[in-house]
């Protein structure tokens, strides 16, 4: 029912895996940051923006032709997206609830939370219903949209992007899509440079408080639309070593220290804007030019690389979904007596590789089988 006929860009999948790992690194170092200025791997929050531009490219590449040929309806599209995304959404919510109980069912300030409040939060997470700060499902007390599994805020916006694409964006001509991308880009740049987040960076969207909702929506809509535009105008050229070029560029971008200080926060906003508006589309283009598709895996070296890229792509989504509940436990452990990086790096290494192993197990024993079963039944 849902068989794909187009070549699959393995290199893009592999980059998604690389970025998922960098997001895990970024989240580790949040435990030791006292402000946006001293956060190590400082710009790791932009990994989400790269996820969005990748998603836009893949969605446009996979589905635009099907809409035009009449092979795809709204119902079929939404079924495909739900089957792809939601099994892991449900499992990640369950893992988040379990780790919340292990942590003692307490908010970050130590306030005890009734178990049934946490269960309500889990159900809301499964239904992708964001928690409003101060309401019953907001069980951690720091305003997260999805307090049993914080990174779900980006999946919330991913769903909005899918809906916007199916109802509107796909109908736009390439010229009109380019105009939309330009308008959204100017809006995002203004938001970043004028410090619309009030954080000194564009790492917004994780809460319903302040400008986060609109900032997160702007982040997603620009990158999602930009990725779709790249998929429409893409004309490949041969680039050797594209995976390594793109991976190194992304890691360097994310590792850049915070730019500017109080009074000059616009410098960091400018950096964010240049990366998201210009460098990410360029990196996406270079990666797509790598032509790492299953059909092009000709030599023995290509086949070995394809296996690695496929592994990185396969674990990327499960890793992103399952890692953060364990971060909550890590944060609580670190903050209990002010542990340092030097004291905790063995635990960080263990959690990092443990999450990769768990992501692979979840993929093989749950995600892939459930999606296969649903594809046959729905």
pLDDT of 288 higher than 90: yes
Find the mean pLDDT for residues 145-153.
97
pLDDT at 1: 43
Write down the pLDDT at residue 293. 47
Q: Given a cut of 80, is residue 5 above it in pLDDT? A: no
Tell me the average pLDDT across 113-140: 97
In a domain, 265, yes or no: yes
Containing structural domain, residue 191: 10-377
pLDDT at 232: 96
Structural domains of the chain, count: 1
Question: CB–CB of 217/191 below 8 Å?
Answer: no
Share above pLDDT 70 across residues of the chain, in percent, rounded to a whole number: 95
Is residue 4 domain-resident?
no
pLDDT at 149 over 70: yes
Check residue 294 and give its pLDDT: 46
Asked whether residue 2 is assigned to any structural domain, the reply reads no
What's the pLDDT at 328? 97
Distance CA 360, CA 287 (A): 24
For position 228, what pLDDT does the model report?
98
CB neighbour burial string for 146-164, b if at least 16 within 10 angstroms, e if fewer: bbbbbbbbbbbbbbbbbeb
Which residues does residue 144 pair with via DSSP β-bridges, in sequence order? 207
Distance of CA 131 to the CA centre of its chain: 19
Question: Quick check: is 247 in a domain?
Answer: yes
300-315: pLDDT as tens digits:
556 677 889 999 999 9
What pLDDT is stored for residue 330 in this prediction? 98
Residues belonging to the chain: 378
Q: Quick check: is 357 in a domain? A: yes
- Amino acid 280: pLDDT: 98
Query: Residue 295: is its pLDDT beyond 50?
Result: no
pLDDT digits (tens, 9 = 90+) for 356-366: 999 999 999 99
What percent of the chain shows pLDDT beyond 90?
87
> In whole numbers, what is the pLDDT of the chain averaged over residues?
94
For residues 244-273, give the mean pLDDT. 95
32-62 pLDDT per residue, tens: 999 889 999 999 999 999 999 999 999 999 9
Stretch 64-85: mean pLDDT, rounded?
Answer: 95
d(CA 1, CA 164): 24
Task: Report the pLDDT value the prediction gives residue 47, as an integer from 0 to 100.
Answer: 98
Task: Confirm whether 3 is domain-assigned.
Answer: no
pLDDT digits (tens, 9 = 90+) for 201-253: 999 999 999 999 999 999 999 999 999 999 999 998 888 889 999 999 999 99
pLDDT tens string 182-205: 999 999 999 999 999 988 999 999
pLDDT band at 299 (very low <50, low <70, confident <90, very high): low
Domain contains 282:
yes
More confident residue, 376 or 348: 348
Nearest-5° Cα angle at 192, 191 to 195: 80
Phi-psi region of 340 (alpha: psi -120 to 50; beta: other; left: phi over 0): beta
């Amino acid at each position: 029912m849902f068989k794909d006929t187009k070549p699959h860009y393995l290199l893009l999948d592999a980059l998604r895996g690389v970025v998922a790992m960098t997001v895990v690194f970024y989240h580790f170092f949040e435990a030791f940051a006292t402000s946006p200025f001293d956060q190590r791997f400082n710009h790791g929050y932009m990994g989400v923006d790269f996820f969005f531009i990748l998603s836009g490219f893949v969605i446009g590449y996979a589905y635009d032709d099907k809409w035009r040929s009449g092979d795809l309806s709204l119902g079929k599209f939404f079924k495909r997206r739900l089957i792809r995304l939601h099994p892991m959404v449900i499992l990640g919510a369950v893992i988040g609830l379990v780790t919340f109980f292990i942590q003692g069912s307490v908010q970050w300030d130590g306030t005890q939370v009734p178990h049934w409040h946490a269960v309500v939060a889990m159900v809301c997470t499964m239904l992708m219903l964001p928690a409003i700060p101060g309401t019953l499902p907001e069980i951690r007390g720091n305003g997260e949209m999805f307090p049993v599994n914080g990174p779900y805020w980006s999946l919330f916006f991913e769903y909005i992007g899918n809906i916007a694409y199916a109802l509107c964006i796909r109908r736009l001509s390439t010229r009109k899509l380019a105009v939309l991308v330009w308008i959204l880009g100017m809006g995002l740049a203004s938001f970043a440079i004028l410090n619309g987040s009030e954080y000194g960076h564009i790492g917004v969207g994780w809460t319903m408080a302040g400008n986060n909702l609109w900032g997160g929506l702007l982040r997603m809509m620009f990158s999602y639309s930009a990725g779709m535009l790249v998929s429409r105008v893409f004309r490949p050229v041969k680039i050797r070593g594209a995976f390594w070029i793109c991976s190194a560029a992304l890691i360097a971008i994310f590792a850049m220290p915070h730019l500017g200080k109080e009074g000059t926060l616009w410098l960091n906003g400018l950096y964010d804007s240049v990366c998201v508006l210009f460098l990410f589309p360029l990196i996406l283009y270079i990666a797509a030019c790598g032509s790492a598709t299953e059909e092009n895996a000709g030599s023995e070296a290509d086949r070995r690389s394809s296996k690695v890229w496929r592994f990185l792509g396969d674990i990327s989504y499960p890793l992103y979904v399952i890692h953060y509940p364990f971060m909550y436990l890590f944060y609580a452990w670190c903050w209990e007596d002010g542990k340092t990086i030097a004291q905790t790096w063995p635990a960080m290494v263990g959690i990092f590789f443990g999450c990769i192993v768990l992501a692979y197990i979840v993929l093989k024993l749950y995600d892939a089988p459930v999606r296969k079963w649903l594809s046959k039944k729905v």
